[in-house]
Each structure stands twice: as structure tokens, then as C-alpha cells.
């Protein structure tokens, strides 16, 4: 059986690409159903893009690589597609766009677009063999217990990263990249909770506060969630993509609160309340209870000097820890690193030295922030490869 294009991976990027390739297209996936990560994303509502997506929201060894694809299929192009399919949506926070209904609507939309383009989809299909031929690629796949030989002119790697192996994530794209001589930037788990071995925040499990998390290079102002294993929540996930083993992180628990002024005003108004009681008006009570074992906060407000209050405020705005690690690929939302962008064209996603071989989506060394950016990269890179294939 011969196809113009075979796409490995029926995830966000692979389906988007299939809808734009033209010609005879086959999409292959080993999972039972396409778009499983879309289905579970955004708590079942899919944070499908971000209003403010721009190249600065993406990590890569080459920060310029993503520019071309993002400019040629923007968040507004994707919103237009969503609108044409009658899917209603809303902004939750920080430009993050979610379906009003279900993430399954996005999968349905992509399947409809693929069907309109005449693309075929084979699920529960495993790749058994792959080699280069003079005119393209020869594959052998296993489907319903049968080995099936296939050939194609274009082969698109869209099998994603290593995050959440339980959901079928594999390193197949990296293995194929190596097979054809492409470099792979070392991968690591990203958008992932931090762990601490000593059960350090166990007593705070479930407490969430607005916070500013920083390392020496970047800061994120979003919610911080304490868990029985360590720290999670959007600010932690964001910082994890920029964190390296052994590095200290800094937590500001009062990023937008003029706490010194508030405490001083209360002290002037009488100050007969315990300092911890007053603090519990601004921070969760369980957090104050935990902090009083680490930060001096005995006595009433009236007992506190300006120096003591200033010291307290400094400690609350610059709490420092060194995580022992992260929860790894088991719970990471994405994989940092991947197929080296130096070996790909930023316009077409085609391998520079292997004509007909393309790589898109999370498999490539482009990783977005939390908040719809990773899907936007999948749509933009899938569109770039699909359009390039359609025009050749």
C-alpha cells in the first residue's frame, strides 16, 4: 500500500498536519483512540490556545525556531477554526482559552477536518520496521495481528514526548530521528511538580496561595499548591521548566500585598490581636500554623517593633528551598528538549538532510509555558508541515 504521506502519531500535531497535507494521507497511532492528551487536557475542557501566545513563551535551544510557524498559523487562526465548528469557548485567566463544553469537541473537530481532507486513520497500529528508500520510506506496521508493508514519499514524526508513559507516550520520534542521523537535545520532564523527600509540606497538603516563584533567571506569579509530596500548582509547574537539579527556588507568599503597612496600621489601631491571628487574615490559617515553626511570630501585634515586622515581611516574601527533584515523566505535562531544531527547517519542519522526513509538535525541541501554549505549538507546527507537503 502506497501513500503520499504517512503521519506517525494521531495527537494534536499529527491530526492538524493530516488536515492540511492534501494527497493520500495515512495517520498511524498505537493508542486505542486519537487525541488522548487533548481529551484529558484542561480538566476535560482543553486549554486549546492562549490569546497572548508569542515566541517568548517557548523554550528551545534555538528560541527563534518557533517564530515562523507561530506567525503563519496564530492563536487567532486556530480560534477561527474552533468558531467555524461552532465550538464555544471562554477565557479562564491570563489569556488561556478553554472549551465551554468538552475537550472531545476539539478531537471531533480535528477528525472532521481530517475526513474533509480525505486522510485515513489507523489506531491500535504499531510500527515494526522503517527504512529509507530512493523515493521515500518503507514501513512495516502491525494491525489486528497482521503485518502490513507500506510506502510513502513523506513521513511525519508526530509521536510527541515522553510525558505520561501510562497514556502511551514513547520515545519513538527520538529513536527514528537518531536512525536518520538527526540530533536529539537531551530531554527532561517539564511542567511538573517539585518533590521533597522529608514530607516537608505534608501538613499543608491541599493549601493553595497566590505566590511569586523565582529562580535566578525567571519569575512566575500564579497559584502555589502544597501537596503531600511537595509543591505543585501553576507557578511551580511553570518554574519547573527552568529549574535544574540542586538549584534553590524562592517563594514570595505575599507578592501583591502591602503587608508591612497593613500590620503597622493594625498595630496602631490597638494591636491586641496575636500576630498569627492577624496574619491568618491574609494567608491560609494552616500555612500560618506551619510558618510559625520556622519564622519567629510570637506575641501580639502591639509587641512587634518596625524592625520585627519588616523582618517577618522579608521572610514571607523570600522563603527559600531546594527541591530534591520532580515527579518526572510520570506526571509531567510536557517534555523539554527533543529533536534538534538545527536539523529542521523552521518554515516546513522538514529535516535538512533527509528529504521527505518531517518532525512536529512536542517531539521537537520547542516547549511552551503552561496555559495553552503547547497545543498552539502543535497546531502551528502541524500546519507548517502540512502546508509545506501540500505545496510540493
Ligand X SMILES: Cc1cc2nc3c(=O)[nH]c(=O)nc-3n(C[C@H](O)[C@H](O)[C@H](O)COP(=O)(O)OP(=O)(O)OC[C@H]3O[C@@H](n4cnc5c(N)ncnc54)[C@H](O)[C@@H]3O)c2cc1C
> Mutual orientation of helices 259-268 and 306-317 as an angle, nearest 10°?
150
The residue within the footprint of ligand X, chosen from 5, 6, 25, 29 (CB under 6 A), is: 29
Q: Is the dihedral of CA 322, 326, 332, 337 positive or negative?
A: positive
Q: Is 365 in the site for ligand X (CB under 6 A)?
A: no
40 binds ligand X (CB under 6 A): yes
Q: Which is nearer to ligand X, 232 or 266 (CB)?
A: 232
Element (H, E) at 120: strand 120-122
Nearer to ligand X, 38 or 211 (CB): 38
Q: Which is nearer to ligand X, 41 or 276 (CB)?
A: 41
Does residue 278 bind ligand X (CB under 6 A)? no
How far apart, in whole angstroms, are the C-alpha atoms of residue 23 and residue 357? 16
Among 20, 37, 188, 267, binds ligand X (CB under 6 A): 37
271 lines the binding site for ligand X (CB under 6 A): no
Candidates 287, 336, 378, 384; binder of ligand X (CB under 6 A) is 378
Select the residue interacting with ligand X from 20, 30, 267, 290 (CB under 6 A).
Answer: 30
Residues 6+ apart with CB under 8 A from 225: 206, 207, 208, 231, 232, 233, 236
Q: What are phi and psi of 156, to 5 degrees?
A: -110, 125
Residue nearest to ligand X (CB): 11
| φ/ψ of residue 351, rounded to 5 | -65, 135
386 near ligand X, rule: CB under 6 A: no
Quick check: 192 and 336 in contact, CB under 8 A? no
Q: Which is nearer to ligand X, 169 or 231 (CB)?
A: 169
The SS3 assignment for 145 reads: coil
215 binds ligand X (CB under 6 A): no
Does 362 contact ligand X by CB under 6 A? Answer: yes
- Which helix H or strand E contains 50, and what residues bound it? strand 47-50
Residues with Cβ within 8 Å of residue 325, at least 6 apart in sequence: 194, 195, 245
Site residues (CB under 6 A) for ligand X?
8-14, 29-31, 36-37, 40-42, 46-47, 127, 158-160, 163-164, 168-170, 172, 333-334, 361-363, 372-375, 378
Amino acid at each position: 500500500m502506497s501513500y503520499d504521506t504517512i503521519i506517525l502519531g494521531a495527537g494534536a500535531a499529527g491530526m492538524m498536519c493530516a488536515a492540511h497535507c492534501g494527497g493520500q494521507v495515512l495517520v498511524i497511532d498505537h493508542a486505542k483512540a486519537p487525541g488522548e492528551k487533548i481529551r484529558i487536557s484542561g480538566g476535560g475542557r482543553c486549554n486549546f490556545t492562549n490569546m497572548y501566545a508569542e515566541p517568548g513563551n517557548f523554550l528551545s535551544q534555538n528560541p527563534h525556531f518557533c517564530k515562523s510557524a507561530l506567525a503563519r498559523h496564530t492563536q487567532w487562526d486556530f480560534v477561527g477554526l474552533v468558531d467555524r465548528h461552532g465550538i464555544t469557548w471562554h477565557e479562564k485567566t491570563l489569556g488561556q482559552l478553554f472549551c465551554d463544553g468538552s475537550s472531545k469537541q476539539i478531537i471531533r473537530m480535528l477528525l472532521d477536518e481530517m475526513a474533509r481532507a480525505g486522510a485515513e486513520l489507523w489506531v491500535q497500529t504499531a510500527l515494526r520496521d522503517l527504512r529509507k528508500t530512493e523515493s521515500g520510506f518503507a514501513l512495516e506496521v502491525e494491525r489486528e495481528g497482521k503485518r502490513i508493508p507500506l510506502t510513502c514519499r513523506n513521513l511525519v514524526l508526530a509521536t510527541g514526548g515522553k510525558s505520561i508513559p501510562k497514556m502511551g507516550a514513547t520515545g519513538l520520534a527520538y529513536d527514528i530521528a537518531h536512525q536518520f542521523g538527526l540530533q536529539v537535545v537531551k530531554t527532561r520532564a517539564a511542567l511538573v511538580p517539585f518533590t521533597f523527600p522529608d514530607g516537608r509540606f505534608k501538613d499543608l497538603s491541599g493549601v493553595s496561595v497566590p505566590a511569586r516563584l523565582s529562580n535566578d533567571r525567571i519569575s512566575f506569579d500564579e497559584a502555589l499548591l502544597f501537596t503531600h509530596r511537595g509543591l505543585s500548582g501553576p507557578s511551580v509547574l511553570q518554574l519547573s521548566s527552568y529549574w535544574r537539579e540542586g538549584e534553590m527556588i524562592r517563594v514570595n507568599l505575599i507578592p501583591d500585598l502591602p503587608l508591612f503597612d497593613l500590620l503597622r496600621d493594625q498595630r496602631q489601631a490597638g494591636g491586641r490581636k496575636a500576630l498569627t491571628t492577624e496574619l491568618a487574615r491574609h494567608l491560609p490559617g494552616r500555612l500560618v500554623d506551619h510558618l510559625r515553626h520556622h519564622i519567629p511570630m510570637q506575641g501580639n501585634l502591639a509587641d512587634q517593633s518596625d524592625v520585627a515586622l519588616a523582618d517577618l515581611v522579608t521572610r514571607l516574601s523570600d522563603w527559600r528551598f531546594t527541591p530534591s527533584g520532580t515527579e518526572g515523566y510520570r506526571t509531567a505535562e510536557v517534555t523539554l528538549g527533543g529533536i534538534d531544531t538545527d536539523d529542521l527547517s523552521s518554515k516546513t519542519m522538514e529535516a535538512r538532510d533527509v528529504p521527505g522526513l518531517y518532525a512536529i509538535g512536542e517531539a521537537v525541541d520547542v516547549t511552551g509555558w503552561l496555559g495553552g501554549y503547547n497545543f498552539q505549538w502543535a497546531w502551528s507546527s502541524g500546519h507548517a508541515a502540512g502546508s509545506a507537503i501540500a505545496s510540493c
